[in-house]
Amino acid sequence: MQFKKKSGVVGAQSPLLRWVCGSEQYGAHAIGRLLRHKGSFKKALDLGAGTGRDLEIIRKSSPGVELFGIEFDAQQCAILKSKGVKTYQVDLESSRLPFEDEYFDIVIINQVLEHIKDIFFILHETARVLKTGGYVLIGVPNVASLHNRALLLFGQHPTQAKSYSAHIRTFSKQDTQRMIELAGNGVFQLVDFAGAQFYPFPKKIARLLSSALPSFAFSIFFLFQKQSDYTDSFYQYGKSLTASTFCKNSLK
């Protein structure tokens, strides 16, 4: 069965979506707003960096920043390197990050966690390499978006959680914030929140609606700040769950 792709939205066959700008769900403008007035960053890391789109946002606000990217796809690694990004080809679910503790001022994890089965190992490594006082920016699809609520009302499945898609986890504002605070044992505090993309509206209207009603947007973005020294709370939380795999491994 063939799935059509319109406006960057996989499977978007409905005529209602013909004006939707698919790239809006990645939230470049939302990321820029969240990072505004947060000072200049010296070292920035992007987990699942792709072609470096989000790192370019940081480079614009912090021209002297040293950029690092973790990416598994070899072709995208080559693109990152061509842009001056220090690139490491690493499997996020099975390998420790090749950096010392408290190395980065900011870590970005945008549109990645929904693809990950065992997220606590990744969150552990993120907290480990992030400086105290630094930021982690997380972007995920919102299962509680307005269009998903409407779909469920009519007995349809949420678009962010299709069984035949690459997404294996779902996120909403309250649940994600609770997970980070609970599993992290208070190490992270939410300091800002934003939304991006608003089905089925065109770009200008979508931006207005996602700004006014961020928790109803297609994608949601969290800016957490690391409040204190980190030991291994995410790792231990993951280890306590029977579904965890990588947190069963030794940290040594």
Quote the number of domains for the chain. 1
Residue 11 lies in a domain: no
Residue 110 lies in a domain: yes
Q: 122 and 109 in contact (C-beta within 8 Å)?
A: yes
CATH label of the domain that carries residue 85: 3.40.50.150
Residue 8 lies in a domain: no
Read off the pLDDT band of 6 (50, 70, 90): very low
pLDDT score, position 198: 95
Residue 133 lies in a domain: yes
Q: What does the pLDDT look like over 173-222, one tens digit per residue?
A: 999 999 999 999 999 999 999 999 999 999 999 999 999 999 999 999 99
> For the whole model, what pTM was predicted?
0.90
Strand 219-226 and strand 43-47: the pairing is unpaired
Q: 26 and 50 in contact (C-beta within 8 Å)?
A: no
190 CB contacts (<8 Å, ≥6 apart)? 177, 180, 181, 222, 223, 224
Q: What does the pLDDT look like over 72-90, one tens digit per residue?
A: 999 999 999 999 999 999 8
pLDDT score, position 55: 97
Residue 252 lies in a domain: no
Residue 128 lies in a domain: yes
Whether 229 shows a pLDDT value over 50: the answer reads: yes
Residue 105 lies in a domain: yes
